[in-house]
Amino acid sequence: MPRSTTREVGGGTQSVERALSLLSAFTEEHPERRVSELVQLTGLGQSTVSRLVGTLEALGFVTHDARSGLYRVGPTVVQLAGIALNQSAIHRQSRQIAQDLASELGLGANIAEQHGTELFYLCNFEGRLAPRSFTLVGRSGPLHATAMGKALLSDLTSDEIQALLGTRYPAYTPKTVADLDGLLAALAEGRGRGYTTEHEELAFGRACLAAPIRDNTGRVVAALSVSGPLSAMDLPSRQDELASRVIEQADQISTGLGYHASAAPLPVNA
């Protein structure tokens, strides 16, 4: 008599969930893990973790350093991430524009979209005045404390923002906008001038300026920003120049996504 299909599916699903929980244990802060750490973090047994990690290694989802005993994310994950990015119309339309903007201005140029209550970086290029030793692609960030997050929220009503984020937000620095009224005021200012800013709201010594990107329906689907150290951004003397370039390039990306001015939504009643 054949085995139960339900039982097979259920067991297979459990194994997938367990394997994914192991992959989720690798983070920006902890990119390398020992088996003992994975056991502790997931609550799974030693033998189960060892078996699943062995399978993940064989499939290229993790790699193992025999000398240190540490596991890290493997090339298969990078390959899948590349496929996902290349399937994104926003990424394809904006990648070259962001790269050129970073080279032209010497600043970081970034593209992000909204994922739930956070922004998610799709592109990140660093200019000569704002070097980084790592990429922001794949990282997330708060919507209320970033210029790109504010640009992504710019078309939402106050009720929609409250339903999404609530009324009080984490303060990363003393300059962070940490309440709904302050956020609504910042969004109103951004809508009026066509771009949003962040001045040491997420991290000391850094600033950012962003503009929304729209699709063929007129909906805000992403944001383009330039960012860097305060000295490189030099907002007191460069803000108008930077805003003009960011708005222009964001509009170019929007046009590539099929946006026409006639498709713009009605003004928000905040």
**87-107 average pLDDT score:** 95
Q: Using one digit for the tens of pLDDT, what is the confidence trace for 200-256?
A: 999 999 999 999 999 999 999 999 999 999 999 999 999 999 999 999 999 999 999
- Spell out where 126-233 has E strands: 140-142, 196-199, 206-214, 220-229
Q: Using one digit for the tens of pLDDT, what is the confidence trace for 128-138?
A: 988 887 788 88
Percent of the chain predicted with pLDDT > 90 = 82
Check: pTM over 0.85? Answer yes or no: no
**40-54 average pLDDT score:** 94
Do 5-78 and 88-263 share a fold? no
What is the average pLDDT score of the chain?
91
pLDDT at position 262:
67
Multiple choice CATH, 88-263, 3.40.50.2020, 3.30.450.40, 3.40.30.10, 3.30.70.890? 3.30.450.40
**104-110 average pLDDT score:** 96
Reported as a pLDDT band with limits 50, 70 and 90, residue 260 is confident
Q: Is the pLDDT of residue 7 over 50?
A: no
- Spell out where the chain has E strands: 32-33, 62-64, 71-73, 108-115, 118-125, 140-142, 196-199, 206-214, 220-229
Q: Give the H or E element holding residue 57.
A: helix 46-58
Q: Using one digit for the tens of pLDDT, what is the confidence trace for 127-165?
A: 998 888 778 888 999 999 999 999 999 999 999 999 999
Query: For the domain bounded by 5-78, which CATH number is listed?
Result: 1.10.10.10
DSSP state at residue 28:
S
Q: How is the chain split into domains, by residue range? A: 5-78, 88-263
Reported as a pLDDT band with limits 50, 70 and 90, residue 3 is very low
pLDDT at position 10:
44
